[in-house]
Structure 1
Amino acid sequence: MLADLEELVVCESFSSDLDAVSRSADVVAAQGARLLGALPERLVVDGVTHLRWMFGTPRVLLLGHHDTVWPMGSLATHPWSVRDGVARGPGIFDMKAGLVQIFHALASLPSLEGVCVLVTGDEEVGSDTSRALIEETARQCAATFVLEASADGGALKTARKGTSAYELVVHGKAAHSGLEPEKGVNAAIEAAHLILALESLAAQANAEAREGWYTTVVPTVVKAGTTTNTVPGGATVDVDVRVPSLAAQEWVDTAIRDMKSTVPGARVEIRGGPNRPPLEESSSAHLFTRAALLAQRLGLGQLSSAAVGGASDGNFTAGLGCPTLDGLGAVGGGAHADHEHVIVAEMVPRTRLLAALVQELAQ
């Protein structure tokens, strides 16, 4: 498994470099073919390469991605290494170790009938080209297992917040800020009003939220103006929204679209909207119970669970009503960070658990 993990990690696959993603798909396809005994479908959508293995009529979907957030050349500063039981390298935790665990889990089974494996190439940048493929595949299945990395301490991810992204575009009117500022419509001031309104909106959304699991509405990138002596004629406010439930996502969407300008003469244009629906605990509860029982049976100890703010492609499958359990991949930490790593000793136990889950559900 370590040799296979090294093979995937040293083939860099930065999401924005489509040639690199294509080369990575070659390596993933070859590794999967060797262990599963079959070549995948190679599905290229808008230049992004995805892979799918289908064995008979699918009942269980194993979902992962081979793209990473690490720019090309990151191996020079974050080389592959294994020391003191810890493996490191760009994308190792998120989520190349999960792919290795998929292939080895399935290779240990007597039959792959009813199993589908989908490995996408654009998860880290929003899954724009793979969403339809994910949803088309999940509609046929009774369960989805997502091999994204685990939460702290190896916890499975039984809930994920949904995500929405907005761009609030303010249309004002430029004017000379010294000679005739009164003839301008200051888009920066309107943007400031919008930011304060967004803060108030988040407070309203969380009036009845349980502690630690609430809606966040965060202005992120703010831009306004052109020169220091000009009334800003335009401004933009990017907004990141994370929600624990579909009802909260719909409420925030309506509230943002209802936002009105307060500066006379300014106009506010709302772009964007919901991206991923939430993975609610009701979608994963039954699968987590099964996983916990199997873990005890296999002598793997007690499983823990976690609700997390980050989204994954499992949000899409859960949003369709397909029961979904996430975080079955690597145990370690540091996703997207300099200290990204995988605990080597946990790879085989996690693989055994996945194999048992697949065998039970596929039958």
Structure 2
Amino acid sequence: MTDLDTGTTVNVGRVRGGTEPNVVAGHAACDIDVRFAEDALGQAVEDALKALTSDDPEVTITLSGEIEKPSLARTPETRAMFARAAAINAGLGAPMAETRSGGGSDGNFTCAAGVPTLDGLGAIGNNWHSPQEHILVSPLARRMALLRGLILTYAGTRPTGDLS
């Protein structure tokens, strides 16, 4: 069900079941993580998972859970906000690249509510959620200036053409 072209990933993470190594398992379970770029893609995966059946009449498949977060959609308003952020960042002497992540944040909910939303404006780093997770100190001041510029722009306290 994974389709990298659409940004859809389906990952069977934890798998568990049975009682003893030498006994045919009477039950098994797995945890499935689904990431998607558009809500319709997530719904299509959920529908496909709900439609799973077994060829063995003695085996049943039960799906529980649901999609917990909507997608972080690229709306025209969000694209305009990104262009503004890129302009501010360019004024600070650094390029800004748009990327996509399979993760989710509270921004997914604000975007679904119709609020233009940018995510990932915090610290720059790598190896998130691992013992090697780290941030780079040198870009912190620039990131703070970018956030300040966005806040001042959208709070309406300065003309949008002023990047200082």
Unpaired runs of at least 5, structure 1: 1-201
Q: Looking at secondary structure, tell me which structure has more strand per residue.
A: 1
Q: 1:295 aligns with which of 81, 86, 89?
A: 89
- Partner of residue 35, structure 2: 242
Q: 1: CA distance between counterparts of 2:67 and 2:53?
A: 20
- Partner of residue 79, structure 2: 285
Q: Looking at secondary structure, tell me which structure has more helix per residue.
A: 1
- Partner of residue 99, structure 2: 306
Q: 1: CA distance between counterparts of 2:96 and 2:46?
A: 35
- Partner of residue 7, structure 2: 214
Partner SS state of residue 146, structure 2: helix
- Partner of residue 355, structure 1: 148
Between the two structures, name the one with larger relative contact order (CA 8 Å, sep ≥ 6): 1
Cα distance change, pair 247–229 in 1 and its aligned pair in 2 (3 A) = same
Q: Does the alignment pair 1:334 with 2:127?
A: yes
Cα distance change, pair 222–280 in 1 and its aligned pair in 2 (3 A) = same
Cα distance change, pair 311–261 in 1 and its aligned pair in 2 (3 A) = same
Distance apart, 1:319 and its partner CA: 1.8
Q: 1: CA distance between counterparts of 2:120 and 2:7?
A: 21
Q: 2: CA distance between counterparts of 1:290 and 1:313?
A: 21
Larger Rg, first or second structure (1 or 2): 1
Cα distance change, pair 348–277 in 1 and its aligned pair in 2 (3 A) = same
The percent identity for this pair of structures is 34
After superposition, the C-alpha distances for 1:216-238 in whole angstroms (9 at most, x for unaligned) are: 11212222211244332211122
Q: 2: CA distance between counterparts of 1:228 and 1:347?
A: 52
What do you get for the CA RMSD once the two structures are aligned? 1.9
Cα distance change, pair 294–267 in 1 and its aligned pair in 2 (3 A) = same
Deviant stretches of 4+, over 6 Å: none
Distance apart, 1:296 and its partner CA: 2.8
Q: 2: CA distance between counterparts of 1:350 and 1:214?
A: 27
Q: 1: CA distance between counterparts of 2:142 and 2:22?
A: 64
Unpaired runs of at least 5, structure 2: 157-164
| TM value normalised by structure 1 | 0.40
Q: 1:264 aligns with which of 41, 57, 62?
A: 57
Q: 2: CA distance between counterparts of 1:307 and 1:271?
A: 28
Distance apart, 1:280 and its partner CA: 1.9
- Partner of residue 124, structure 1: none
Distance apart, 1:309 and its partner CA: 1.5
Contact 2:7 2:102 in 1 (8 A): no
Partner SS state of residue 305, structure 1: coil
Distance apart, 1:312 and its partner CA: 1.6
Q: Does the alignment pair 1:321 with 2:114?
A: yes
Cα distance change, pair 241–291 in 1 and its aligned pair in 2 (3 A) = same
Residues paired across the two proteins, number: 155
Partner SS state of residue 67, structure 2: strand
After superposition, the C-alpha distances for 1:180-237 in whole angstroms (9 at most, x for unaligned) are: xxxxxxxxxxxxxxxxxxxxxx16xx3xx63xx5311121222221124433221112
State the AA in 2 paired with 1:340.
E
State the AA in 2 paired with 1:288.
F
Cα distance change, pair 336–229 in 1 and its aligned pair in 2 (3 A) = closer
Distance apart, 1:250 and its partner CA: 0.8
Q: 2: CA distance between counterparts of 1:349 and 1:247?
A: 37
